[in-house]
Amino acid sequence: MRHVMFVDDEPNVLDGLRRSLRKYRDDWDMQFVVGGTTAWTVLQNSPVDVLVSDMRMPDMDGAELLEQVKEHHPDTVRILLSGQADREAILRSVGVAHQFLSKPCPPDLLHATIHRACALHDRMRSPQLMRLITNRDSLPVLPESYSELVDELRSAEANLTRIADLISQDVGMTCSLLRVVNSSYFGLRRHIESPTHAVTLLGLRLLKPLVLSAGIFSRFDGQAETLSRAQDLLEHSLAVSEVARKIAQLERPADTELMDHALLAGVVHDVGQLLLAQALPDEYDELTTTAASQNQPLYMAETEALGISHADVGAYLLGLWGFPEPIVEAVAFHHQPEQCRSLEFSPLTAVHVANALVNEVNPQNSNCYDSSINFQYLNELKLLERLPVWRTHAAASMNRGDAA
């Protein structure tokens, strides 16, 4: 049974939560604690799986509490539940909370958020890796990309279009920005999946302190070889995203949400590699080198050595951050789509095929990315005959990208 703690400075609020969540008492062992200081005293000796805290508390506020938990119990899922949708709250909590939920929060939404976080924990088979990944509040960003963004933000003539372009060209910045802008602090009615839209919604007044002060992005800290691999992965991911979007457009031309999901899933499908390279630099360098020399797909080598693959790691973090289920699914199963029960065309289908087709055009990286198409999976979806059409469009798209 999972242990969940709820923290608020108002006993009446906790009583309301206790009543509304009573039907889930068979799923969780729940604690309701008054005040951040009391909660931290309890947590020092008895860590929990999930912590849900209010933001505004007089003794120790939610940001301070989550900061302590992040440092001392990094494998705890940290959720901020607050009615304070002000800029200061966002800036202080962006680096310590996995998700932000606004008051009043429907019990079913709160239950779904916690249930999903616990299910993701179960997916991670390595406690060591779970601690490393859960402790991440951002994805690593290539130094050159970050420097260009900072220069643009500090310019007297900072341009939102230019800023959006810079962010969209880096996987880490794209993920971290979308994580923040899609928090319930902003009260948006639909999930924002475009850096351009996200930058427009935030505006320079909020974007500047988020990037320059709140640490929404973290610079990639690695050796030259690791940075070079990260750059290759970025180029690969952007190419996959464009091909995945095209495949989705060919199959579901009227479904703009599916196309958006395919595009974003293509960008982020290999984020687990960035996380592993940052968290385990020496071990991961050796692992990728060995996989390439033995002509072994990287996800298989990772599973043998670590017990999980970069697909598992990426899906875990994105799910923890509240990314839409179709995107998390595409990241989790893009190498092995047959493990997903769905037999309908989805972003997973588009990303799985796009990943392989991009490697057909650029085979030099195929050892690390696994370029095989699961023909049986496509046949079960009755889409195998569409493969030549997708291949033609992928080649054309890649050639245009090379020319650009």
In terms of domains, do 272 and 395 share one? yes
- Is the residue at 194 inside a domain? yes
Same domain, 183 and 246: no
Q: Is there a cis peptide before residue 104, judged by omega within 30 degrees of 0?
A: yes
Residue of higher predicted confidence among 25 and 37: 37
Q: What is the mean pLDDT of residues 299-316?
A: 90
Q: For position 209, what pLDDT does the model report?
A: 83
**Does a structural domain hold residue 129?**
no
| Residues 72-105 pLDDT 10s | 998 898 998 877 555 666 677 777 888 888 887 8
260/331 same-domain check: yes
* Whether residue 276 sits in one domain with residue 182: no
Q: Is residue 342 in some structural domain?
A: yes
Q: Do 257 and 372 belong together in one domain?
A: yes
200 and 231, same domain (yes or no): no
Q: Which of 199, 219, 239 is the last residue of a domain?
A: 219
Would the pLDDT of 142 be above 90?
no
Q: What is the pLDDT of residue 131?
A: 72
Is residue 230 domain-shared with residue 370, that is, in the same domain? yes
Would you say residue 328 has pLDDT above 80? yes
CB atoms within 10 A of CB 119: 11
Which amino acid, 320? L
264 in a domain, yes or no? Answer: yes
Q: How many domains does the chain have?
A: 3
Give 13 or 201, the one with higher predicted confidence. Answer: 13
Instruction: Work out the number of other CB atoms within 10 angstroms of the CB of residue 387.
Output: 16
Over range 348-364, report the average pLDDT. 87
Predicted local confidence at residue 401, as pLDDT: 53
**Pair 117, 173 in one domain:** no
Percent of the chain at pLDDT above 90? 40
Look up the domain containing 89 and give its range.
2-123
Burial-class residue 395 by CB neighbours within 10 Å (0-12, 13-18, 19+): middle
Q: Average pLDDT, stretch 45-62?
A: 91
What is the structure's pLDDT at 369? 53
pLDDT of residue 96: 83
Q: What's the average model confidence in pLDDT over 246-261?
A: 95
Q: In the structure, what pLDDT confidence band is assigned to residue 189 with cuts at 50, 70 and 90?
A: low
CA distances to 180, 268, 386 from 239, rounded to whole Å, are 25, 11, 20
| Residue 134 belongs to a domain | no
The rounded distance, in Å, linking the Cα atoms of 289 and 301 is 10
Same domain? 163 vs 238: no
| Rounded distance between C-alpha atoms, residue 249 and residue 145, angstroms | 30
Residue 132 lies in a domain: no
CATH number at residue 116: 3.40.50.2300
The confidence band for 31, taking pLDDT boundaries of 50, 70 and 90, is very high
Choice between 298 and 281, residue whose per-residue pLDDT is larger: 298
Question: Among the three residues 171, 200, 219, which one is the final residue of a domain in this structure?
Answer: 219
Out of 203, 219, 235, pick the residue that ends a domain.
219
What mean pLDDT do residues 34-38 have? 96
Whether the predicted pLDDT of 367 surpasses 50? no
The residue-averaged pLDDT of 306-322 equals: 88
- Does residue 130 belong to any structural domain of this protein? no
Is residue 50 within 8 A of residue 118, CB to CB? The reply is yes
Measure the CA–CA gap between 123 and 146, rounded to whole angstroms.
Answer: 32
Is residue 238 predicted with pLDDT exceeding 50?
Answer: yes
Note whether 201 and 233 are same-domain residues: no
Q: How confident is the model at residue 301 (pLDDT cuts 50, 70, 90)?
A: very high
Instruction: Specify whether 241 is located in the same domain as 390.
Output: yes
Q: Report, as an integer, the average pLDDT of 41-53.
A: 94
Query: Both 206 and 281 in a single domain?
Result: no
Confidence (pLDDT) at 403: 36
As given in the structure block, the two tokens for residue 279 are 């968290």
pTM equals: 0.79
Of residues 44 and 342, which shows the higher confidence score? Answer: 44
> Do the domain assignments include residue 137?
no
So what's the pLDDT on residue 187? 56
